[in-house]
Every structure is written in structure tokens, then in C-alpha cells.
Chains A and B, each alone.
Chain A
Amino acid sequence: MNHIVFDEKKCAGCNLCELFCSSKWYGAFNPKKSSIRIKPGEYVDPKCSVCLQCDDAPCMEACPTEALVVDQDLDIVTLVEDLCIGCKLCVKACPYDGMYWHRDYKRPIKCNLCEGDPECVNICPKEALKVGD
């Protein structure tokens, strides 16, 4: 499925993607409310964590209320917020550290590709992010 593809050789670790993501979806600058996370390290390439929109998504399997479903139009795994009961099982099930929890909300934080026009891809100064399959 479509997901954010990260190029560690291009990323310089500015974390602007996190700031645009959190401010777009939660109205505040807060990297811990971003659905993409970049971790710069000392003298090593940065690492990225973001939902990979898995074909056989462990989060979908873990969800007891079928709140995580495939959006056929966008070709991603999407969260139906009304069905979500905030049990965090999806966050625990994700093997890629691609779903997050913040105490201010009762729902997981998960990339939805900005419904087709990802802000992080648009603003990345190093063009280190793109949408791929």
C-alpha cells in the first residue's frame, strides 16, 4: 500500500516534518503528537519511524473493534475514530514503532498520508520523504 518512504542518506535530521505534522493535525508544535518521528544520532544517519501501511497489518489484526480498516481510495490503513475504544493494542502490536499514543488523546496517532497530500513530503527541505508503494 502507499506509505511514506524515507531516505536516510538525504535526511539531515531537522525534524520539521514532525512540527508540520503535529501542527496540521493537533494545532500545536509537539513532536510527540506527530505521526512521523525522526531520530538524529551522533555521527550516524537519522532513523525514521512512521506507519508503513502494511498489507497484512498487525494493528488491524490486533484491533478488537475493527476500527482500523483499509481505505481503498487512498490505499492506506485508516482509523475510524468512532469505532476506536482507545485500548492501545494497535500501538503495542505495531512491529515498526509506527503508531503512537499521547496522553492528551484517547486515540492512537497514526499517519493517514494527510488524506492523500502528505504535509511532511511537501515541506521536507532535503526531499528525504516521498510516497511510495
Chain B
Amino acid sequence: MVYGYAGKILHIDLTKRKIDIETPKEEFYRKWLGGNGIIIKNLYDGMNKGTDPLSPEAVSVFASGPLSGTLAHGSGRTHFGSKSPLTGILADSSMGGAFSAMLKYAGYDAAVIKGRASSPVMLVINNDEVEIREADRLWGVKTIETQHRIKKELTSEYKVACIGPSGEKLVPSAGILSDTRIAGRGGNGAVWGSKNLKAVAIYGDKDVKVADLEKVKQLYKEFAEKVNENLKGMIKYGTTALVMSINAAGGYGTRNMQEEVYEDADKISGDVLHDEHFIRHRSCFSCCLHCAKDFKVNKWESVSEGPEYETLYSYGGMVGNNDLDYLIHGDRISDEYGIDTVTVGVTISMVMELMEKGILTEKDTDGHTYKFGDKEGLIKLIKIIAEREGEFGELLCKGTRALAEHLGGDAYKYAFHAKGLEIPGHSPRPLKTMSVGYATSPRGGSHHDARPVDYPLPWEQRNSIMGKAQSAVTTQNWTCLGDSLVVCHFLEKIYGVKIVPLHSEWINAITGWDTTFEEVCAMGERIYNMERLFTIRESGKAREGDTLPWRAMNEPIPSGASKGMYTPKKELDAMLDEYYDIRGWDRKGYPTKETLKRLGLEEYS
């Protein structure tokens, strides 16, 4: 047994209704760690090139890491991975909560699911007992109600992850939800839907043992003290405070990125949320930061955990909505349907601009004219997409890239995505690290690969490409490590946005290994390269896929603190050259044989 791990991975074949248990060797864990590492290894090896993400042959994985179930900060996060039905490349997405901790307490590090059940099912894991049970009665039921019904049927001690109606209808941006947390991005929920998998319920009462308990407690206490000293704003506001600070930095996407300063940001700020809508603080399992908040709608009866900053961007500035009641309500109904608010909000903002430009007309929609600031229209479109309703819903649910391809002409100029995944609220134009970061991300427009570290820099330094390729590599390697440990990225507010020797101290205290800082750095880099190989294999593209939305490369920001900034193609190309050199990839964007060998990936060269 390796300390920190359960030592078992579940393999579920829903077609054959067969359950197998793999007991990986220690070398496997030391090479792939957990979370994203276990996910990408199983996705790459478990599927043939070109597998349809919604076919029975597609693989879907959820995973914990060696830190899950311990008192490591934010270790309640769970990672889900599949080939994305939205983008055709890697979809990995994580959620907070306690699901992965319960998975570990039940005695498993991860579950690898393939096949397709002949009718709706749920997976019930009670320690050593693993069953596939019928779930017809839950099909069509929204996410919160689904969890309540399952807990009533089993016991309330279970942790449940499930899909909502959007996942069942194979909406390509459908996510998986547990408690009130969603692994929203990339369509993992649609993959579950295609497998007729409505939910997974877990109960476990086994130990998670660590090699050096006193050291783990010491690391925790040192960390918690710093959280209390340094993150008072985060504790009070969560991520909502970012609306005002990012707006002030001139990077808050507004009206589908036509601007990056929103004149009504102060109406949807962290302060207004705190003063007029706050109900309570919420925490993920094993986290002393408790950054989540429950907010209430004042106009009618509705409560949501969140919105977090990303939804305050996508259902706020991006669609020109300054009404928090509609924003909170939109967040709640998105969770109920089980759908990604970033992809949905950015798609709606594109619709609004296309109507403004006359590219889309009432004849193309459901007869409604959707304008920026139309808050009733926002709620209506969320439901149309989540329900995949009618021809318009069918068109919109596939996201901005598909919408642009369908319309042709200039429509692509208004599609704000990277590799088909809509870009969240850390704009590439004022943040060059994010420009090269989004372009090279193995899953596209995700702000959890490269991280937005450029905000504090003065205009000249932010607008310069100097050092930004290195910054993207450093932050991407860290997020890959963090997503494999598994810990929340907000750890970086204390340890820095990079891999540091403290990460190997955590790993060693928990596992009993003697990893060095260099070995831990290689873990992050290895997993990142493996994700790159998967995305190249499935998209057939390397450098030619590493690009940005048209607007980010062609239109300077018109006003605000980042006025004039954008990333023209020649700048992106220069950063890509530098980036590939740092990574040890060739200039076409492929990892070289030497690099793969150095990382122990020679079998994939």
C-alpha cells in the first residue's frame, strides 16, 4: 500500500454491466500521481484515435489524488475527464465539494467508465460493494432534486454526482454536478448522458492514512495561518471581488468583448452581492478558505451557490446584464440543468452581437430580438440551450465555433473561443500570458491551464511579450501538478503560481516517497505533455491549432486601463516559437522524441 492512496481504480463497462478493479503498482502512482494524470493516461490508452466522444467506446474518468481525503487545502476537488463533445479534444473539468474525498474513503482513487447502458442507470458505491442500478425514474429530473431523491433512497450520508436534463440531451457543454458544485467545462455531462449514466453515489468509511501525520498537520497549520493573514478579501467576497478589480485593469469582457470595461460593473460587484444578496459562506471539504457563498435573488424566491466570478462575467458584462437578480437566477437554473455558464454565456453574447450586426435576424431565432442588456432574453436563451429546444436551441447548444461555422461569412469574428472552448473572464488581450496560454492549452479556452498572472504589471510590461511564454509554461506545469494532487488552484495565492519545494514536502509527507523538487516539476510537465499528445492526436493539429479568436488578434481594446492592447498574429507567433523552445517541442508544436524520453513518455513518441 502507498500512503495517501486507496490503491484501487474502478473500471466500469456499462454495456456489459461489468465491474473490474485495477490495483496499480506504486510506479504508476509515482509517474501519474492522480487526478488529471490518471485521467489523461486512461483517456489516451483507453480510446482509439478518432473515437466519437458520445459513442459507447468513449472513456469517461473521474479521479481523486494523493491529497484527497486529507486535510490538505482544497483537496475536496474532483476531476472529470473525457474527449469533449464540444471541442473534440481533451475535456477535463473539476468541481469543488467533497465527492473525491468520499471516493477515497470508499477505497478508490479513480473510476474509468466506458460502454453504454441499455437504459438509464446509476452507479452505487458503498465501500467494497459496487452496483449498477436502474435509474429510469430519475431521467429528466434536475440535478438538485436528483441528489435529494438518491439520498432519500440510499441514505443522506452518500455523496452524489449527477447530470441534469442538459447532460441527458447530450448538450455538448453539459457538466456534472455534486452538491451545488459543477464540473462544468467541456461536456463531461454529455458523455455521461450518452452512456445513460445519470449519477454516481458514493459512501465510504475507510481510512486515508498518511506517512507522516505530524508533518501534514504542521504544513496545514502554517498554510492556514497565511490564509487568514493574506486572504481576507477572498474570505469575505470569494471570487466576486474580481469584477471590480478586473474591470479596473481593463480586462472585464463586455458585450462579447467589444469592450473590456463595463460601465455598470459597480452594479454587479462583490460589494453589492455581499451587502444585498449574501446568505452564508460555503466551503469545499477540507478547506479553510471557504470562498464560496450562497446568494439570494431578491425579486423572487431563488438561491444559488455563486455566481462565481466567471458567471459574473459570462452572464454579466458579456451580455450587458447589470441586474444581479437575473444573474443569480441564471446561475441557479444552469446548475439545475447541469450546464456550463461560460460556454452558454459567451454563446449568448455572440448571438446578441450577431443580431446587433444584422448577421442573425428574428427569422433565424425564435422570433425574438436578443439585445445586450436583455435580461429576460438571457434567461430565455439559457433555457433554450439547456433544453436543446427547437432548431435555434440545436444550433446554439454547440457553442460559438459551431455557430460561426454554420453562419459562415464574418461570423467567425464574433466567436470568442480557443480550440472550440469559450474563453472565460481573463481576457487574452490585456494578459499576454493568457494569450499564449489559451493558444497552447490542450483543452482550449480554459483559465486553469495557464494562469492570469499579468494583472499586477504596469501597461508597458503587460503589453510586452517578454517572458510571457515562460510564464505560460511555468503556470501550466503548476496547474497540471495541482490538478493531479488534487488541490485547489487558490493554493497558489499562498505558495505562488508555480511548482515550489513545498509541493514535494506535501507529497512526501503524505506518500512517504522521497520526491525531489525536480521530480515534482517533471510530474507536472509530463502530464501536460501527455495532454498535448492527446489533443494533437484527436484534433490532427499542432501549431495550426494553437491560435486565438479573431478579435483578440485583430482588434485593440478600445478603452480603459488596457486601451490599445491586443495580440497580433506576429506577436503570437513569436511567443509560440519561444514557448515551443522552452517546452522542448519542435517549431511545428510537436513534443520532440528527446523531450518525451526525458519525461518517461518514449512509448508515445
A32 in the interface (beta carbon within 8 A): yes
- Asked whether, in the complex, the Cβ of A30 is within 8 Å of the Cβ of B179, the reply is no
The size bracket of the interface on A is: 20 to 34
Determine if A28 is an interface residue (Cβ-Cβ < 8 Å).
yes
Instruction: Kindly list chain B residues whose C-beta atoms are within 8 Å of the C-beta of A102.
Output: 205
CB of A58 closer than 8 Å to a CB of B: no
CB <8 Å contact, A14 and B209: no
Distance of A12 Cα from B303 Cα, bound (Å): 16
> Is B281 a contact partner of A12 (Cβ separation < 8 A)?
yes
Q: Which residues of B contact A26 (CB under 8 A)?
A: 207
Residue of A with least CB distance to B287: A14
Known: A13-B282, A23-B213. A29 touches B70 (CB 8 A): yes
Does B139 sit within 8 A of A, measured CB to CB?
Answer: no
What A residues does B221 contact at CB under 8 A? Answer: 123
In angstroms, how far is the closest chain A Cβ from the Cβ of B281? 4
Contact string against A for B residues 282-298, beta-carbon threshold 8 Å, 1 for contact and 0 otherwise: 11111111101010000
Chain A's nearest CB lies how many Å from the CB of B213? 6
B483 touches A (CB below 8 Å): no
- The answer on a CB contact under 8 Å between A30 and B105 is yes
Q: Is A16 an interface residue (CB 8 A)?
A: yes
B280, CB-defined interface residue at 8 Å = yes
Partner of A39, one of B70, B156, B284: B156
Q: Is the CB of A125 within 8 A of B207?
A: no
Determine whether the beta carbon of A29 is less than 8 Å from that of B282: no
- CB < 8 Å neighbour of A125 from B206, B228, B284, B305: B228
Classify chain B: how many residues form its interface, as a range. 35 or more
Q: Residue-by-residue, is B203-241 near A (CB-CB < 8 Å gives 1, otherwise 0)?
A: 001111110010001000100100110000000000000
Residue of A nearest to B289 (CB): A125
- Chain A at the B interface: mostly helix, strand, loop or mixed? loop
Q: Are A19 and B71 in contact (CB under 8 A)?
A: yes
Docked pose: A103 CA to B224 CA in angstroms? 33
The docked-state distance in angstroms from the alpha carbon of A16 to that of B105 is 15
Q: CB < 8 Å: which of A14, A33, A103 contacts B285?
A: A14
B residues sitting closer than 8 Å to A (CB atoms) are 69-71, 98, 105, 144, 147, 156, 179-180, 205-210, 213, 217, 221, 224, 227-228, 279-290, 292, 294, 303-305
Please name the 10 residue pairs, one residue from A and one from B, whose CB atoms are nearest each other, closest first: A28-B207, A12-B290, A32-B205, A14-B283, A12-B283, A125-B288, A12-B281, A29-B208, A19-B71, A43-B303
Could you list 5 examples of A-B contacts with CB < 8 Å?
A20-B71, A23-B213, A29-B70, A32-B105, A40-B282
Q: A14-B286, A29-B207, A43-B304 are in contact. List 9 more A-B contacts (CB 8 A).
A: A9-B280, A16-B71, A19-B70, A30-B208, A39-B156, A43-B305, A102-B205, A125-B224, A125-B228
